[in-house]
């Protein structure tokens, strides 16, 4: 029986997601070994992402293990990946996408003066655009840690990806799932990417969901064309009918959305707007 070594982060959510991929691949009659890997984003849970590195702080070490042949498949939250493929690696499969929305935990609505925890500049910008009188406080860590810190610090709410809460059976923590026209999701949010070495996509090809690939690849292409990452409030989401992208000021003082079919054209329009 073929043995496939799957690498992922070691958090409870990451291992749960890796097991989802393992179950799908076991259906093809292969044996799976899970290999937890610690990333830069896991080692430092206090600094803002921008001080640790660019977007990709949760995937770099896993990609290095894949290139070094210590693992055969890397499982990532697609939203954590850079918007372009790393040399020598490809996304061999996207599992069927789950709920891509952001979730408000601890409250059902936004109110002026609320203290809301998030480390995401994308979420910060859009939350402040919805309610400028919010107090946004930096909050990092895995899902369990952020839920615990909300209570310890007396925060009114935290914003997390709904799919992660669903996968861990923590959907009871959700007070509200934001519609995409309120908080546009991160490119790839809700999807799991199975990354492999170039020319080895056949290892996971049977697990690929073509519709998820179509949408997520459009989102990633748009963000790549804009040049966004962890330091820039940029988002892109394809709802199946159209692609919507945005750029914003981190303080929420301005926010521009555009929708269409062509990722490059949307990026061009948004860049022109941002340039004034």
Residue spans of the domains in the chain: they are 102-177
Check residue 261 and report its DSSP letter: S
Residue 77 C-alpha from the chain's centroid: 6
Catalytic annotation, pick one of 42, 72, 80, 156:
80
80 is catalytic: yes
Q: Give per-residue pLDDT as tens, 20-74.
A: 999 999 998 999 999 999 876 665 555 554 443 455 667 989 999 999 999 999 9
Question: Which superfamily does 102-177 belong to?
Answer: Periplasmic binding protein-like II (3.40.190.10)
Burial 3-14 (b: 16+ CB within 10 A, else e): ebbbbbbebebb
Q: Give per-residue pLDDT as tens, 78-130.
A: 999 987 889 999 999 999 999 999 999 999 999 999 999 999 999 999 999 99
Residue 116 CA to residue 135 CA, distance in Å, equals: 6
Q: Give per-residue pLDDT as tens, 136-169.
A: 999 989 999 999 999 999 999 999 999 999 999 9
Of 72, 83, 77, nearest to 58 by C-alpha is 77
């Amino acid at each position: 029986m073929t043995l496939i070594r799957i690498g992922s982060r070691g958090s409870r959510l990451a291992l749960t997601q890796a097991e989802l991929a393992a179950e799908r691949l076991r259906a093809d009659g292969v044996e799976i070994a899970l290999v937890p890997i610690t990333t830069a984003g896991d080692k430092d849970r206090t600094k803002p992402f921008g001080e640790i590195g660019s977007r990709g702080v949760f995937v770099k070490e896993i990609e290095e293990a894949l290139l070094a042949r210590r693992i055969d498949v890397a499982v990532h939250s697609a939203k954590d990946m850079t918007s372009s493929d790393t040399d020598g690696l490809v996304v061999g499969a996207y599992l069927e996408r789950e709920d891509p929305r952001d979730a408000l935990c601890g409250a059902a609505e936004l109110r002026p003066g609320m203290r809301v925890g998030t480390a995401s500049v994308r979420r910060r910008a859009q939350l402040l655009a919805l309610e400028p009188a919010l107090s946004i406080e930096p909050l990092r860590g895995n899902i369990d840690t952020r839920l615990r810190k909300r209570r310890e610090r007396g925060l009114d709410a935290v914003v997390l990806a709904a799919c992660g809460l669903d996968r861990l059976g923590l959907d009871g923590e959700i007070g509200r799932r934001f519609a995409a026209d309120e908080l546009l999701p991160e490119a790839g949010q809700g999807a799991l990417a199975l990354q492999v070495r170039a020319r080895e996509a056949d290892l996971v090809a049977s697990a690929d969901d073509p519709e998820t690939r179509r949408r997520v690849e459009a989102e990633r292409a748009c963000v790549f064309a804009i040049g966004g990452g962890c330091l820039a409030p940029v988002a892109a989401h394809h709802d199946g009918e159209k692609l919507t992208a945005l750029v914003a000021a981190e303080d929420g003082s301005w926010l521009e959305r555009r929708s269409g079919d062509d990722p490059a054209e949307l990026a061009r329009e948004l860049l022109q707007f941002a340039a004034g």
